[in-house]
Amino acid sequence: MLIKPKRSYHITTDSHHRFKKHKNLVSTIEIENPESVWVSDITYVGTRINPSYLALVTDAYSKKIVGYDVSNSLSLDGALRALNMAIKNRVYKERPLIHHSD
């Protein structure tokens, strides 16, 4: 009765894949402007019986969510819809942009 049960969760990142891993370009730069670095991730929401996955694109400077998508699978489509939403709503289109994701 005193043992707390472990919280169950879905693993959405596989760091041991066979594909090329790119260097982390944002670990050494100082972010000074909005829309200079976007970070993306996918997280699990909902129940284990009916899971959904939330793909987010966030501006690293302002912490504003600039793109999102909720889907029923971890397929590429949800992440692309979130990225396309962010690109469509971009304000400073002439500035360079780094998109960072795991």
For 32-69, write each residue's pLDDT tens digit: 999 999 999 998 888 878 889 999 999 999 999 999 99
Convert 81-94 to b/e letters by CB count within 10 Å (16 or more is b): bbbebbeeebeeee
- At 75, give phi and psi (nearest 5°): -65, 165
Contacts of residue 60, Cβ cutoff 8 Å, sequence gap at least 6 = 26, 31, 36, 37, 38, 39, 100
61-73 pLDDT, tens digit per residue, is 999 999 999 999 8
Kindly list the domain boundaries of the chain, sorted by start residue: 38-101
Instruction: Express each pLDDT in 75-88 by its tens digit.
Output: 899 999 999 999 99
- Using a 10 angstrom Cβ sphere, with 0-12 exposed, 13-18 middle and 19 or more buried, the burial of residue 79 is buried
Which CATH number is 38-101's, of 3.30.160, 1.10.8, 3.40.50, 3.30.365?
A: 3.30.160
